Structures are given as C-alpha cells and as structure tokens.
Structure 1
Amino acid sequence: MAAGQSRHLGISSQIFPKDLPSQIVYNELETNYSDLYNYNQKCYKKLDRTNNEEVKEICKKYLRFIEKSRLWNTPNASYDVCLQVNYWIYDKLASILGSNNTENIQITFGSFQWVGENIMNTPARITYNKRCNPNIKIFNEKHWEKEKKLYEYYVDYNYLFFMAKSYDDNCEYYKKIIEIIPIYKYFEDECSPGKSNCPEFYKRYKSYNPEELLSNLKCYNQIEVEGSPKFAAATEGDSSRTEQPTRAGDPGLSQLSADLQNAKATHDMSGIGKKVSHTVLGAAPVLLTATALYKVPGFADSVEAE
C-alpha cells in the first residue's frame, strides 16, 4: 500500500483529512468536473476586474456546487453546508492572494456575491444567493482560521469519537481530537462575558468539549494533551503513519463491505441518498458507511443533482 494511506474497516483510503465528514463539502468543491466551462460566462463577466485565473476557477467551482450538489437536499441537517462553502472560498482566496492581503481578499470575496445574483437553471428558479450567500461578515481577521478548524471539529465530532473509541489502534483519531483542545480553550476565553469575538455557532456546540470524553477513549493512557511529552512524541510521528488492521469478526464490517459493493455495482441513488443524509445528520455508525461511500469510484458524481 502506498505511503500515507491506511485501511479503516477494510476500506483503503487516504489518511487525514480526507477521511473526515467535514471534508465531504470541500472534496466536492475541489473536484475538477468536466462541465465547469458552463460557468465561464458568469464568472468571467462578474470578475472582469481580476486577471487571476485561479480566482475565476474558484468561482466556477463555487457556482457549480451551489447549483448541483445534492448536499443541499438534506432535510434538517445538523450542520451548515453554506458556512463551510464560505470558509472554503475565503481560505482559497487567502492562499491565492496572500493571507495578509486582507483588503484584496475582502473585495474579491464580495465579488462572489455579485456572481450569485444570476438565476439558476433549476425547476425552483431560486437564486444562488438564496441557497448560499457569501458572507464576509462571518470572518474575523483575528482568528478566522481557528473558527474554521473549530467548526470542522463540530461536524466531525460524532465520527471522531466513535472511531477513537472503537477503531484507533494507532491513535490517529485521538490525536486529531486533542489537537483541537487549544482552539476550544481559545474560544472559551473569546466567548466569555464582556468579549465580542465569539463565532455565532459557538453556543450551539458549547457542549462539544473535547476534554470531557477523553478518558473513555482507547488511547487515553497512551497520549496526553498538548504540552505533555507524550503529545509531542505522538505528533512528531504523524508523517510515518502505518496501516490500521481490519478488525476480523466485527459485525459491522460485513455489512459495510456489502454496502460498498452494492453501491458500486448498482449505483442505487435512493440508498446512497439516505446514507448521505445520515452523514450530515451526525449518526455515527452510518457516518462510517457514508464516508466510505465517498471513496467508491463514481460516487462523487452520485451526490450531485441530475
């Protein structure tokens, strides 16, 4: 097996971060679909003041995701897909334009709102902005990157703790959890009475304190929190991760394997749609299946609107 890969529950996949549910939105946004050219006119017209082709490419991927992704059809989703889209746009612009070029980032980010004024070619005839409006106000120059990481942790919460409790022989998931502790503590302070730098979503997930469940996890006595010698030794070894063996006899493995084979052979959209819905609803056992389905060849296309 190639370096940098692991085998979780018998499924070959890239190690962090692509295993995580929070990456489902980003992975789809990053995909170079063959029909991106359909968005050339919208993006080139509205972003005519920039000669940066990378920015226009981000625009096309953004519009396509807003118009075609099936993730928008998930009822009562427990997390905000649009918020992740906003983080993705801002993060990409910061990478392209320079993270310290705040004024230019904000101007370009604002241009995406103008792009979204076009009407989508859908039966509902809704606007791009009605589905997901780029919102520069959510970004705090002081700590937007920390906000992004904290929200991703909230999305991944059930999955991380389920895996860390049951399938974490190399403590990969445990390390991912303890990495968020300093960020969680940072926002505990920023969201204390008298301060005004608190993300809007913080109170909703205040109970997701990563430290409270550590003692229930397999690796609790092997790796300690940041600042300890055990933590330093563990994080230094991230680049040399090894395979996680499949747990023979696990009653969930046979069903998961069958789900994958059936999805690949029949492309059963109704069944897959239900699994994706359960993914964003945060049901941990089903999260495993839904995340795995994203690794099935051809499944990336199956989460789009026809």
Structure 2
Amino acid sequence: MNRRALLGLALSGITVCSAPALAQTYPSKPIHIVVPYAAGGGTDTVARALGEKLSKRLGQPVVVENKAGASGIIGTDAVAKAAPDGYTLLVTITQTVLTNQFLFAKLPYDPRKDLSMVSVLADAQLVLVTNTSLPARTPRELGDYARTRPGKVSYASWGVGSYSHLSGAYFSKLARAESTHVPYKGEAPMLQDLLGGQVQFGFASILTARPYIQSGKLKALAVTGAQRSSALPELPTFAELGMGDSAFKTVGWIGMAAPVGVPPAVTAKLEEEVRAIMQTPGMQSRMAGLGLRPLGSTPAEAQAIFARDWPVLKMLVADSGAKLD
C-alpha cells in the first residue's frame, strides 16, 4: 500500500472517529437561539420553553435572542450567515424560510442553500370563521353566498402575505367569488371587525378564535390540515367536506433550523434532545395551550415537510398576488 493510500485511510479514520467525539463534547459553550420576531409572540414562547429545557438537558446556557424586522428576514439572515457549528440556531415560522421567497423579489439568503432544517417543532391549523349574520353553514355554502354577491363580501386577514391572507384568497378564487381582501395589523383587530360585521369571513388561528366560536359569537365552518383539531374536534376538515386541495391540507409550522454545514453529529444531538423535549407531557400541554400540535420531527422529516410545502406556498402567493417589496 502506498503512502497516499495510507494517509487516506488515516484521515478517513479520524473523520469517522471524530463524529461521536464531537457529539460527546457538544455543547461546550452557550447556544444562541434566534427568533426573527418580537418577544411575547407564539414563536418566541415556543423558543423560550424549548431553550429552558435544552439548557437543563445539555448543561449549557441557551440564550434566546429576538432579532425582529423586515418580516423575519433580519433574524433569519443572521442565522444563515452564522458559523455552522451548532451554537447559533433559528426558531421560526413557515414565512421566513418558505413564504418570503415568493413575497419578496430578492432575499439576502436562500433557505434551500443557506439553512438546514433540524426539526419541525409543532404545527398550527387555521379555522374558517364567519360573522354569525351569514346564513352559510359550510365552506361550499359560503362560497356560493360570496359568488352571488360580487364585490359585496370581504374576507379578513392579519396581514398581506400572511397564511390567513393566502388561504382567504385561494378560497375566494376556488369559489369564483369576487371577494375583497381586508388586511389588518394583527389578528386581534381582524377578529374584532369580524365580530362587528365589517368583514364577513376569514381564516383565523384556532387559539385566538376558539373563545368566540365556543361562545357563539363567530361561526366556524371547517379547519385546515389533514386531521381534525383536538382543540375543536367537532369541526370537520376541508378534506372531509370534499375540498381536499393541497392548499387546505397545508398548515403553518414552527421549526428549528441551523446554518448549512453543521456537523451531522451535532445535528443528530440537537434532534435527539429536541424530540425528547417535545414528547414530554409538560411540553405537549404547553403546545396545546398555544393552539399548536407538538411534533418534534427528525431532520429528514422536517426537510420532507419543507419540500412538500414549497410548491403549495409558491402557488398560493402567486394566486393571491401578494408582494411585500
């Protein structure tokens, strides 16, 4: 065997042996989780709950940093450009790693090249709600109602390009209705106008809309996703009602990502710990209280979800005509 072959074998042995060693020594310093939104929101709450438990399990501080701005672009870009060593992580929603690619003409990062999914932590379904004055009892009846009143029916969302907007626009197109989109700065004012009848229908988060649904102040017609929501188990999915479009099966999610190039052993360590945390009764209860379905997927599963949702969100943004630049 020549010298080059021997050297190759030696280097290969170092690589193989270094992976488990790296997993054993990681982490050796504080981990930073970047949330690209302001403190106090759902994503921030999930990140802090996860960070607290990660810190206890890994024996190192886990610092949550809020780097808000530009629809999540600032914080996401900071992680995409960070060193790929497992010490800077991103906890974010679908928008920054998926939807923004279609809402903005240009981004400072490419999520497919610059970020690697570690886990989809939890997902969240939407519920189609209407003002109680509308006679519609099903999505199809609502579509018929809107189609026969062109320009007189409006749907609300919590912002241009939001999942709420994209779902409402798709529903309106599917019904061949000329409904008017009314965007709000947040879900609270959106629901207030739905209650008051200034707008007729909208897609809302289950957590926020549930009290109004249960009190009879809003009428709920169906939920998105592939299965019924445990928070509103009496409501059918769109698929159950014969509307099995991928747009209505797709749900928003909160995920963890890292810069591309993190050593596989470190990613595996993170995934193992995150999955264990998400399966604890305390975390399951916490997620349910936020209107989320806890998942804690593997990196491969997270990447599959990312790949599955990419064309759907691209289509939804194109159909809605939404742009944020």
TM-score (norm. length: structure 1)? 0.26
**Computing the radius of gyration over CA atoms, which structure comes out larger, 1 or 2?**
2
By percentage of residues, which structure has more helix? 1
TM-score (norm. length: structure 2)? 0.25
